[in-house]
């Protein structure tokens, strides 16, 4: 059980010791609570010219146990990593990986086709490819600029605020 101590910054400690005490307590507290909180898989989200891509690390999760939904432009990935004791009666010496149910939700922009999501699970990584709507894709617009010796063509991106 933790005790509550009054923090008195001027009590014979250096600034370096104060930082170590404050940040050391935060890290220690995070370590104590880490076994009590549910797990959430790490996720990378990036955008290409034609789609939004979501990659989630889901090792040892059966793809059949995944529930992927879009409701009101909210993408939700739910599932469970089940603990399987495969030691034939021998006890584990240490269990550090998290198990149990998880849920991750992300807001989607109106510029994607949420009804055309493709899901792929390979080597413990779930990849969701969400195509963009045609009107959301960048378009190249040619701008003719007149000069004394003729005309030149310049390109401007439709995605920039000044080109609309």
- Here the CATH number for the domain that contains residue 53 is 2.60.40.790
pLDDT number for residue 10: 56
Q: Do the domain assignments include residue 144?
A: no
Q: Do the domain assignments include residue 11?
A: no
pLDDT number for residue 21: 63
Q: How are beta strands 43-47 and 140-147 bridged, if at all?
A: unpaired
pLDDT number for residue 135: 79
Q: Do the domain assignments include residue 141?
A: no
Q: Do the domain assignments include residue 60?
A: yes
Give the residue from 121, 35, 123, 31 showing the smallest Cα distance to 79: 121
pLDDT number for residue 37: 47
pLDDT number for residue 30: 47
Q: What is the longest distance spanned by two Cα atoms in the chain?
A: 88
Give the residue from 160, 108, 121, 135 showing the smallest Cα distance to 50: 135
Residue 128 belongs to domain spanning: 43-85+92-136
Q: Do the domain assignments include residue 98?
A: yes
pLDDT number for residue 62: 92
* Overall number of domains in the chain: 1
pTM over 0.75: no
pLDDT number for residue 152: 53
Q: Do the domain assignments include residue 99?
A: yes
pLDDT number for residue 154: 53
Q: Do the domain assignments include residue 116?
A: yes
Q: Do the domain assignments include residue 122?
A: yes
In tens digits, what is the pLDDT along the chain, a chain of 164 residues?
555 666 565 555 676 666 666 666 555 444 444 444 478 999 999 999 899 999 999 999 999 999 999 999 999 999 999 887 766 556 778 888 888 999 999 999 888 998 999 999 999 999 999 999 887 677 788 888 886 655 455 555 445 444 44
Q: Which residue has the tokens 């600029």?
A: 145
């Amino acid at each position: 059980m933790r005790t509550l101590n009054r923090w008195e910054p001027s009590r014979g400690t250096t600034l370096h010791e104060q930082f170590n005490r404050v940040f050391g307590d935060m890290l220690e507290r995070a370590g104590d609570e880490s076994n009590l909180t549910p797990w959430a898989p790490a996720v990378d989200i990036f955008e290409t010219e034609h789609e939004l891509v979501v990659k989630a690390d889901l090792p040892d999760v059966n793809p059949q146990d995944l529930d992927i939904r879009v409701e009101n432009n909210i993408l939700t990935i739910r599932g469970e990593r089940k603990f399987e004791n495969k030691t034939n009666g021998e006890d584990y010496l240490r269990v550090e990986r998290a198990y149990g149910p998880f849920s991750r939700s992300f807001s989607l922009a109106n510029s994607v086709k949420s009804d055309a999501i493709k899901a792929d699970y390979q080597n413990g990584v779930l990849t969701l490819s969400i195509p963009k709507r045609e009107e959301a894709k960048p378009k190249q617009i040619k701008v003719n600029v007149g000069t004394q010796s003729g005309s030149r063509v310049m390109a401007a991106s439709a995605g920039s605020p000044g080109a609309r």
